[in-house]
Structure 1
Amino acid sequence: MAKGMREIKRQVKSTQNMKQITKAMEMVAASKLRRSQEAAQAARPYAEKIQEVVSSIAAGSKGTKNPILVSREIKKTGYLVITSDRGLAGGYNANLLRKWMQTVRERHSSKDEYTVFVVGRKGRDFMKKRDIPVIGEVTGLSDSPIFADIKELASLAVNNYVDGKYDELYIVYNKFHNAISQEPVLNRLLPLDMGEGSVQTVNYEYEPSPEEVLDVLLPKYAETLIFSALLEAKASEFGAKMTAMGNATRNATEMIARYTLMYNRARQASITQEISEIVAGANAQS
């Protein structure tokens, strides 16, 4: 009985240590989540303004031949998949990759029909295990990424589309709703849909010409959309981590209560047995 009580006490201590770790990780994730949300909001005005300018030029330049705006026959598809570098984030990566794999199985019959760019070690390792060719990757991003971190990959993805290496580009990431809700989404990035029906044209003066300005701005706009998705994915990652660590902390609390109850019952049984043995010994001597 003593051995059983010592084991239970050891389990209680171990679970308490685990609870301290998960609680600390939950607080760290909450702090990083707030900073990620602020970063995403700070990048929004630039993205909105460049969209306004690009939409205005595109609406005023009828018949533009820029490949970023022109739809063509789909023979090959590009995917840019944004995952995390580390785990302990619940179903953050698993749900996203499962949705992407389901889409690939439905749309493609062979690996020659699509190509992949990956952000994050989890996505890279997932592709390697399944022998899926990755033509561009970025890993080891900081918790507060900047545009320079993703610029090379974003430029490669856009330029490959312009060069005709694939006919559409999708971006796959976790859309942030709130700290407990992240939705895996697969959005078409290229060709760009400027929504001409709702565009209000502004009378800008361009030098040298609207078409040449559009040729410069369109790739930058596409790269900006990729960076905005990365910032939103980061916020989703920290929201998922905060939720996962919160659940782990609550589970640890329940386990401690259960182990404590088991310890108290074992201790009570031990005391009862000792009393019974004392009484039996006293009766035997009388």
Structure 2
Amino acid sequence: MATLKDIRTRIKGVKSTQQVTKAMKMVAAAKLRRAQDAAIQARPYAGKLKEMLGSLSTKVDTTLNPMLSARENVENLLVILVTSDRGLCGAFNTNIIKLAQRVMREEYGNLEKQGRIKILCAGSKGYDFLRKRDYNVVKAYPGVFQALHFDVAKEIAEYAADMYVRGEVDKVVVVYNEFKSVLSPNLRSEVLLPIMSERAGVDTAAGGEYIYEPSPASIVDVLVPKHINTQVWRMMLESNAAEQAARMGAMDSATENAKELLRQLNISYNRARQAAITTELTEIVAGADALQGG
């Protein structure tokens, strides 16, 4: 049975932990506001670029740009896995890593068996997990979310585009957390390249008609890299916002759990204290009776 000193030590430790989790919750809430605003502001621009490319693809020969042409046979795949750099955010990283494994196993099982899947990790947690399990991680960006910049997203996009254009991979898939709400992130697996595969079934006429100068083909050559850079940047912003939301929720749960644990420890402390007082009283009474009997 725990002594009074042991229980007091535990109460002190839980109170210290509770203060830390409460502070981390407040920090995550402040970061979430900024991250959420950034993610929401990036959506309209990314959506309009996609709409314009959808309209342009009906007016140009898509074979002129390799990133607009889907390849008949996908023999090599690049998976871009976006995770966080730090933990203490609940099941945020676990869920997205499981989704990436499921996508590779169920949708591209033949390529996985043949070792034809390459992985690019944005974020330390995904990289730490996959490199210990012999996955083919060809590029990693650990610590990218410590100071998130567009230049890093552009570098990732250019690396993936270069692999696709040179024929090293025939498809690029991004697995990331899309920010939906504080309580429920949205796990996503999207095809980044080829661009045409993302627009399958989209009614491009619904986006309106445009006049293109100097020509649709030259505009496509400019918009395609902008589109890829913007999509990767948007996905990273979405993941950052979802991470802060997950961390805020995890720290809130930890704070509430610490509160409940303190309540139980206080009950245990009071019971142990009462038992000690009762024992002392019993010993005093027994000693007094012994003196009177003597």
Q: Does 1:135 align with 2:138?
A: yes
Q: Given the alignment, which residue of 262, 269, 275 partners 1:263?
A: 269
List 4+ stretches of structure 1 deviating above 4 A: none
Distance in 2, Cα, partners of 1:134 & 1:15: 40
Q: Does 1:71 align with 2:70?
A: yes
1:28 — aligned with what? 27
- Which residue among 179, 182, 186 is the counterpart of 1:179? 182
Partner of 1:160: 163
User: For 1:242 and 1:116, how far apart are their aligned partners in 2?
Assistant: 29
Distance (whole Å) between structure 2 residues aligned to residue 121 and residue 84 of structure 1: 6
Q: What aligned pairs does 1:173-252 form with structure 2 within 5 A after superposition?
A: 173-192=176-195, 193-194=198-199, 195-199=201-205, 200-207=207-214, 209-252=215-258
Contact 1:173 1:233 in 2 (8 A): yes
1:201 Cα shift? 4.0
Alpha carbons of structure 1 residues 201 and 63: separation in structure 2 relative to 1, 3 Å = farther
How much does 1:104 deviate?
Answer: 1.8
Q: What does the per-residue CA deviation read over 1:26-45, in whole Å, with 9 as the maximum and x for residues that have no partner?
A: 11111111110011122223
Within 2, Cα distance between the matches of 1:5 and 1:230?
A: 50
**Which consecutive residues of structure 2, in runs of 5 or more, have no partner in the other structure?**
none
- Contact 1:137–1:153 (8 Å) recurs in 2: no
2:15 paired residue number: 16
Contact 2:92 2:243 in 1 (8 A): yes
Please report how far the alpha carbon of residue 127 of structure 1 lies from its aligned counterpart in structure 2 after TM superposition. 2.1
**RMSD over aligned Cα atoms:** 1.9
Q: How far is 1:93 from its partner?
A: 0.9
> Pick from 144, 150, 155: which aligns with 1:147?
150
Check the 8 A contact 1:32/1:143 in 2, yes or no. no
- After superposing the two structures, state which structure 1 stretch, 80-89 or 182-191, moved more: 182-191
Alignment-mate amino acid for residue 39 of structure 2: A
* Higher mean C-alpha deviation, range 102-111 or range 66-75: 102-111
In the alignment, structure 1 segments of 5+ residues that lack a partner are: none
The question of whether the paired residues in 2 share the 8 Å contact of 1:76 and 1:167 is answered with yes
**Equivalent residues of 1:69, 1:191 under 8 A apart:** yes
Q: Which TM-score applies when normalising by structure 1?
A: 0.92
**Partner SS state of residue 174, structure 2:** strand
Displacement of 1:218? 1.1
The SS at the match of 2:17 is helix
Deviation at 1:229, TM superposition (A): 0.6
Mapped to 1, the partners of 2:114 and 2:251 lie a distance apart of 37
TM-score, normalisation: structure 2? 0.90
1:86 paired residue number: 86
SS in 1 for 2:36: helix
When structure 1 is superposed on structure 2, of 128-137 and 6-15 the one drifting more is 128-137
The structural deviation recorded for 1:62 is 5.4
What is the DSSP-based 3-state SS (H/G/I as helix, E as strand, rest coil) of the residue aligned with 2:187?
strand
The Cα offsets for residues 153-200 of structure 1, whole Å up to 9 and x where unpaired, read as: 111102211222111110001122211212322111211233552433
How much does 1:143 deviate?
A: 5.0
The alpha carbon displacement at 1:82 in A equals 0.4
Deviation at 1:240, TM superposition (A): 1.0
Q: In 2, are the aligned partners of 1:90 and 1:241 still within 8 Å (CA)? A: yes
Specify the SS of the correspondent of 1:112.
coil
Moved more, 194-203 or 147-156: 194-203
Deviation string 1:195-244 (CA, Å, 9 cap, x unpaired) is 5524334232312x211210221122022111111000001111111111
What is the total number of aligned residue pairs between the two structures?
A: 284
Aligned letter for 1:278? I
Question: Quick check: 1:169 aligned with 2:172?
Answer: yes
